[in-house]
Chain A
């Protein structure tokens, strides 16, 4: 069968996302059905707890999976949810005896569990926004430690606030929810929300930040905002999950939501696969089945004529073994790095024929230029860039060359705010880019690629470009059309549904440029786009850049060590050496400049060459 047309990719992707959502929902539904019909009342009870765990772990995954940060703080949200819902739903008479000192504004509501949920979700959202304003600024281990801090703080507050929580004593009298239908619907809704968010604009942004914060930033994505949205949604969901958990327990204390519970849920998420909603669902199911199967053997039983002795603690041993096996055999969890279900390139979807029309070529850019004026940067006394000034106007390709360590990439980093300049400006019209936040540079239509490839490895090639188009502010439909245009311009049709980390090197290089162009920049800074390419690939890239530069009238700053490549494309070349600009002019003029020859082959040899002449 022929490969499907690239233009059907958006429809296929939409169908695949729908099927993936259905797959997660179906796995949960089938499991519940097996438990209820296969194991009667016991199975139903296992299913109730499993559904609440699915809600909690899926909430956890919304943050952890999409940002790549493991959180131990979701126990804090569950604590808030369980206590708040408990207070709001507790019978008034019981509340008077169990919580005699409860503040008046919290007392006497006696709502139904369903009625309490919106208030619980709003409270969770408020707590998440408040805590997220700090935690969302952090990444990696420091963010994880901060979430642990949140758990400890909320636990301590719950223990201290005795008038509201009964302190470390048991909080009882919470109406119990034992109806499977309620928790099953909750779990299904949670899976649906998590799936919709994951594929949404903000879900893609969060995953882009997860895979490469700097690359996401230059696309105009504010990392802390992307993380804050993930945290807030996740926190509000976890608060509701905590309320449900409280209602199935009926009695609990702050310790019920502390490290043991948090670790168990993190384990479920990791066992299933942290990166996907399906992974979270499968993780909960796998751990639930394993624990309940082993639990029934603990008390001693007879199987097929063999009498097994009483061995308590088997569940803990089995759980430990499961974690070890998963880490050893499938480090990304049972489901792996992909979402459960077919991708856009699946055979199943090849017959999907509805095509999307690629976007028209963007309107050619008008006259403007990026002007660097006296840019300098010191690193511990070493002058990486020293008072460099030059212009990158639209409508032509400007080369920037120099030996290794000349300061070329640092210069690009100064202009795009990856580094703060010590002195100097980089202006587009009246706007000085050096005063903008890093994610604000793209708003001035300045895009870039990186010397070392910085793709979003967990996204497909298509999604890499789609993220850029969405970050540029396009509607979803327009973003798809723009993505198709850029992928076609760089001949990336065949690999659109492959994950970026699996692409061949040349395709990755082209993809990074396509991604930058999806933002329709006026100025494009390309840092060694041909590095590592063979001559044929380099020639092909040169053709494409020539075409794009001409058709769109954009200004390109081209950094590369392949002087033939730079000379072919550049109308003007800037030469740097040891942080300073040493020459600037047409390729012919620069080639003849003695300072350029010195920079590349050394002063002594230059003199000998001159003497021989």
Chain B
């Protein structure tokens, strides 16, 4: 009986939400639970905030109101496939997919038939756009982040690097490998590599290996995230090794900065930095005023930038036809974003965007170090 009632309710809700013809319908896959929730949650919040702002001004480019269909994927790829199909059934003309390569590629294979543009919230694996010309990244890709970080490391005079990576995810494996490639291209040397498993509680064996290396590295690079990075850095510093550590944008969180002395001086990449008076700082103020929540990572603003990317692509296309929007998106050059500007033209649709390098200060704050685009000459191939 309960099931019947729930099914009736579902049916009623489906009927009640039938599309209005003039709306531009955007389907959003948003994992509200599971491993993608920490990224999809903020990204969706930022996206919805800016779509609301756009709608308040009459819609995209002031003329096309947006209607969102948002569905939870629970970070489950099978559910993701199901919801993408449902959203297309419900008239979605653009799909914003979860912040990882697996669900984005799975979604992109479904949207390929109608060339419905598909953009990941924050997936950074460069491979994800290889599925077709309708698939787009939004965040600076791993290879761009790695190339900028490698350039900075070489400028600082680091000669030898030890890579700590995990084959358990494309991000934790790809980031350090891209770094090693770019670092070598700039004349540095990879002197050793260690592998760890995600959620590995003890890093003492890796630390001992680094300690005992024939050629001690002057730099350690890892794309490890929580809780692996805290466990690693504690083991490293606990063993008395004060080697410089650099990492990916996943270290740009309040919890990492709150680890205390062990992370002082750690350098990491980031998608953006809210300089005083910048559009990013203004976004933070507006978002906080409207929602009461302070955006404490870049996924919020990147979610907002996706709304602006869609708006500019539709403007360039002069229509909402999916194939035309895909083509127009791929041709955008120096599009205006809040986190940073973006260029799809000439790329394989992972946008060229500025990468920020930041340092964690002794007081646990994020210090701006530099902002630059990756040098195409040393950009590792996906």
- Please measure, in the bound complex, the distance between the C-alpha atom of A41 and the C-alpha atom of B90, giving whole angstroms: 10
For A46, A159, A168, A249, which residue has the most chain B Cβ atoms within 10 angstroms?
A: A168
B233 within 8 A of A: no
- Are B127 and A170 neighbours in the complex by a CB distance under 8 Å? yes
- Are A45 and B85 neighbours in the complex by a CB distance under 8 Å? yes
B190 within 8 A of A: no
Chain B hits for A301, CB < 8 A:
9, 12-13, 16-17
Chain A hits for B243, CB < 8 A:
none
- Are B173 and A167 neighbours in the complex by a CB distance under 8 Å? yes
Given contacts A168-B167, A249-B77, A251-B106, contact A289 B10 (CB under 8 A): no
- Are A293 and B72 neighbours in the complex by a CB distance under 8 Å? no
Q: Tell me which residues from 63 to 81 in chain B have a Cβ below 8 Å from any Cβ of chain A.
A: 70-72, 74-79, 81
Chain B: CB-nearest residue to A289? B3
The stretch from A312-320, A341-349, A361-369, A577-585 touching chain B is: A312-320
- Please measure, in the bound complex, the distance between the C-alpha atom of A39 and the C-alpha atom of B7, giving whole angstroms: 9
Partner of A168, one of B7, B10, B12, B169: B169
For A170, A178, A253, A289, which residue has the most chain B Cβ atoms within 10 angstroms?
A: A170
- Are A169 and B170 neighbours in the complex by a CB distance under 8 Å? yes
- Are B85 and A251 neighbours in the complex by a CB distance under 8 Å? no
* Chain B interface residue number, banded: 35 or more
- Please measure, in the bound complex, the distance between the C-alpha atom of A39 and the C-alpha atom of B3, giving whole angstroms: 14
- Please measure, in the bound complex, the distance between the C-alpha atom of A428 and the C-alpha atom of B102, giving whole angstroms: 65
A192 within 8 A of B: no
- Please measure, in the bound complex, the distance between the C-alpha atom of A256 and the C-alpha atom of B106, giving whole angstroms: 11
- Please measure, in the bound complex, the distance between the C-alpha atom of A256 and the C-alpha atom of B89, giving whole angstroms: 25
Partner of B10, one of A176, A178, A292: A292
Given contacts A49-B82, A172-B105, contact A299 B131 (CB under 8 A): no
Chain A: CB-nearest residue to B128? A170
Chain B hits for A36, CB < 8 A:
none
A296 within 8 A of B: yes
Q: Mark A233-271, 1 if CB is under 8 A from B, else 0.
A: 000000000000100111111011000100010000000
Q: Mark A158-197, 1 if CB is under 8 A from B, else 0.
A: 0110000001111011001010000000000000000000
- Please measure, in the bound complex, the distance between the C-alpha atom of A170 and the C-alpha atom of B14, giving whole angstroms: 32
Q: Tell me which residues from 309 to 344 in chain A have a Cβ below 8 Å from any Cβ of chain B.
A: 312-313, 315-316
Q: Tell me which residues from 123 to 150 in chain B have a Cβ below 8 Å from any Cβ of chain A.
A: 125, 127-128, 130-131
Chain A: CB-nearest residue to B70? A299
Chain B hits for A39, CB < 8 A:
7, 10-11
Chain A: CB-nearest residue to B167? A159
- Are B10 and A293 neighbours in the complex by a CB distance under 8 Å? yes
Count of residues in A whose CB is under 8 Å from the partner chain: 48
- Are B82 and A315 neighbours in the complex by a CB distance under 8 Å? no
Chain A hits for B32, CB < 8 A:
298, 312-313
- Are A42 and B78 neighbours in the complex by a CB distance under 8 Å? no
- Please measure, in the bound complex, the distance between the C-alpha atom of A42 and the C-alpha atom of B6, giving whole angstroms: 15
CB of A568 to closest CB in B, whole Å: 62
- Are A293 and B6 neighbours in the complex by a CB distance under 8 Å? yes
CB of B295 to closest CB in A, whole Å: 19
Partner of A170, one of B70, B86, B102: B102
Chain A: CB-nearest residue to B75? A260
- Please measure, in the bound complex, the distance between the C-alpha atom of A294 and the C-alpha atom of B9, giving whole angstroms: 10
Partner of B14, one of A160, A293, A296, A304: A296
B281 within 8 A of A: no
How many A-B Cβ pairs are below 8 Å? Answer: 140
B33 within 8 A of A: yes
- Are A46 and B82 neighbours in the complex by a CB distance under 8 Å? yes
B296 within 8 A of A: no
Chain A: CB-nearest residue to B6? A293
Q: Mark A9-45, 1 if CB is under 8 A from B, else 0.
A: 0000000000000000000000000000011011001
For B75, B79, B105, B169, which residue has the most chain A Cβ atoms within 10 angstroms?
A: B105
Partner of B13, one of A98, A289, A296, A312: A296
- Are A168 and B173 neighbours in the complex by a CB distance under 8 Å? yes
- Please measure, in the bound complex, the distance between the C-alpha atom of A302 and the C-alpha atom of B12, giving whole angstroms: 8
B168 within 8 A of A: yes
B109 within 8 A of A: yes
Chain B hits for A45, CB < 8 A:
82, 85-86
Chain B: CB-nearest residue to A48? B82
B110 within 8 A of A: yes
- Are A253 and B82 neighbours in the complex by a CB distance under 8 Å? no
- Please measure, in the bound complex, the distance between the C-alpha atom of A97 and the C-alpha atom of B167, giving whole angstroms: 21
- Please measure, in the bound complex, the distance between the C-alpha atom of A45 and the C-alpha atom of B14, giving whole angstroms: 15
CB of B44 to closest CB in A, whole Å: 10
Chain B hits for A245, CB < 8 A:
78
B101 within 8 A of A: yes
CB of B333 to closest CB in A, whole Å: 27
A interface list, Cβ under 8 A from B: 38-39, 41-42, 45-46, 49, 97-98, 159-160, 167-170, 172-173, 176, 178, 245, 248-253, 255-256, 260, 264, 289-290, 292-299, 301-304, 312-313, 315-316
5 cross-chain pairs, A with B, having the tightest CB-CB distances, nearest first? A312-B32, A293-B6, A301-B13, A296-B10, A251-B105
Cβ contacts A to B, 15 pairs, < 8 Å: A45-B82, A49-B81, A169-B101, A169-B174, A251-B108, A252-B102, A260-B34, A289-B6, A290-B3, A295-B71, A296-B6, A296-B9, A301-B16, A312-B30, A315-B74
B interface list, Cβ under 8 A from A: 3, 6-7, 9-14, 16-17, 30, 32-34, 70-72, 74-79, 81-82, 85-86, 89, 101-102, 105-106, 108-110, 125, 127-128, 130-131, 167-170, 173-174
